[in-house]
Structure 1
């Protein structure tokens, strides 16, 4: 899928951006003011062999290198599902099982048209945080947690007015904090991780296990549709996920002292169906004097946040 949003002015510097997740790979050209000029998206063959997954990345990147504005690109930002290792340029996404220590930066640099342009890697949720702090819902806050709730759960931190990716590029990886030490095993190797309780995948699984008769594709979006229609099992699945996420947010707020939480990703598109119980449960867990007034906001940039944020990482590297 290709989307042309604007042409940009002739002297506007650009960054290229890749947003690699367990469901989709998006690529874009973004101006230094955060304008998304061109966007292309392909599905992620998440369970395929490593080279097949990268072939999809290459396809998305080709849609950029062949664009008439490519010569104005000074750097390439890559936000990938994690964990990532920004120092080594490798990725090991939990939801892309055949990418383990995959040399993503090296492979991107080898693609036709990339040339000597710098390639900057960060976690996809760190990229989302960079985008929402730059152009979205976190603009007014110096200390914020930006969360992606989709196939998995990821997050990025804005502290003292700056995105803080940490030395490896994974800071804020909320989905793999353990909420239940005796909980179900997680593909990351731990047990009882937040991602296994609050992700879209977890919502759909919980609803099925509780007796929901799957409709459509059986995804979290289908559960959301059933919940809007009043299905008590579907509503309970969303409530449980919201409660687990509220615990993770409260723990993070207690640790680093936050002003706001921004919620994005596919599950967040269900709106108040997810955000209302999240706020209600957060009031039960974020009870300290400095955590109880957290603002909970929907992400402003929607599905474009990962691309715009990956570009922000590239511009910040200049």
Structure 2
């Protein structure tokens, strides 16, 4: 059975071992810079894992890389007492449940890419189910299965990396919306003055994502003639988000200003999410909330200024327990049919 998101009926696997054969799934976590593939057992044990860069690849080239990883893993376990029952894929954008097309704006050639069709053809004749969903949904599913949201039916995963998104679990159900775009909070309006740049990536994402922060640092450096701070010895074209946080620790004035403003924006974002959805736990993940995890208490303090008071007093702010593996585990959870 093949499905994208939750648009087709399916039955979950009930036991890990079947007639002496262990049941497992292949999981794929695609980001704007890499593809990670793994085989995960029904108990959540990672049996094999590999990450590859997609730098310089676009369109069908990225799909072929995914397909080759699936073929490689199927071949690797072909003679083992392990049966691959499903493939789950996490994508950095939207998987349209009615068509199986994927919109991934940070991957060239993926405006409406037929990923489900490609993988279906690859696995033709095999009794292997295919499930595809967006990264933010997979991250909250991963945390619900093996991470910080194990014991709750109401949780939100706030992903801040190259983009910004939210995976939303309410009353035990994942929210998708009319066009499968629920959680695209990079388009939150957090600036009273509209700028043309917001039309492409959204206001919040332009200001407080990893890419947004780096862009703002570069813009600031370009307009300062006598700058002598932390970034003066760094090749600006190679700047990464970790450099900005390092500069913050060294009290660089540009980094201090932009990070302080970002903390404020993350707090306002958290307040909006909490007021709208009343979660029990708000989980912070993505590449920025590696180094940015130390600001969670400050983000909560900012959120308290803005959020519905009864909701903010009950919610727990937590770092991701799965880190960069949240989407990978979530794709596995999705493939297992437990949601």
TM range (shorter): 0.7 to 0.9
In 1, Cα distance between equivalents of 2:107 and 2:183: 20
Partner of 2:224: none
Alignment match of 1:310 (pick from 327, 331, 338): 331
In 2, Cα distance between equivalents of 1:114 and 1:102: 23
CA 1:181–1:88: 2 relative to 1, 3 Å:
farther
Matched, 1:49 2:62: no
SS at match of 1:263: strand
Partner of 1:213: 231
Task: Note the C-alpha offset of 1:191.
Answer: 7.2
Matched, 1:259 2:277: no
Task: Note the C-alpha offset of 1:192.
Answer: 4.5
Alignment match of 2:70 (pick from 58, 61, 71): 61
* Structure 2 residues not aligned, in runs of 5+: 1-15, 222-229
Task: Note the C-alpha offset of 1:94.
Answer: 2.1
CA RMSD of aligned residues (A): 2.6
Partner of 2:164: 153
Residue correspondences, number:
309
More deviation in 207-216 or 88-97? 207-216
CA contact (8 A) 2:139 2:330 kept: yes
Partner of 2:9: none
Partner of 1:289: 310
Task: Note the C-alpha offset of 1:231.
Answer: 2.3
Higher relative contact order (CA 8 A, sep 6+): 2
SS at match of 1:312: helix
More deviation in 108-117 or 280-289? 108-117
In 1, Cα distance between equivalents of 2:202 and 2:292: 26
CA 1:114–1:270: 2 relative to 1, 3 Å:
farther
Q: Deviations over 1:159-194 (max 9, x none)?
A: 11333344654432222333336433457x467532
Q: Deviations over 1:86-133 (max 9, x none)?
A: 221111112124211100111122236883412111111100000001
CA 1:186–1:62: 2 relative to 1, 3 Å:
farther
Partner of 1:180: 191
In 2, Cα distance between equivalents of 1:114 and 1:231: 59
SS at match of 2:88: strand
CA contact (8 A) 2:263 2:299 kept: yes
* Structure 1 residues not aligned, in runs of 5+: 1-7
Matched, 1:12 2:12: no
Partner of 2:153: 142
Q: Deviations over 1:243-298 (max 9, x none)?
A: 22222221122112122110111111114444243223212222432234421110
User: Structure 1-normalised TM-score?
Assistant: 0.87
Task: Note the C-alpha offset of 1:312.
Answer: 0.6
Matched, 1:33 2:51: no
User: Structure 2-normalised TM-score?
Assistant: 0.82
In 1, Cα distance between equivalents of 2:195 and 2:125: 43
Alignment of 1:109-258 (within 5 A): 109-111=120-122, 115-166=126-177, 168-180=179-191, 182-186=193-197, 189=199, 192-211=202-221, 213=231, 215=234, 217-258=238-279
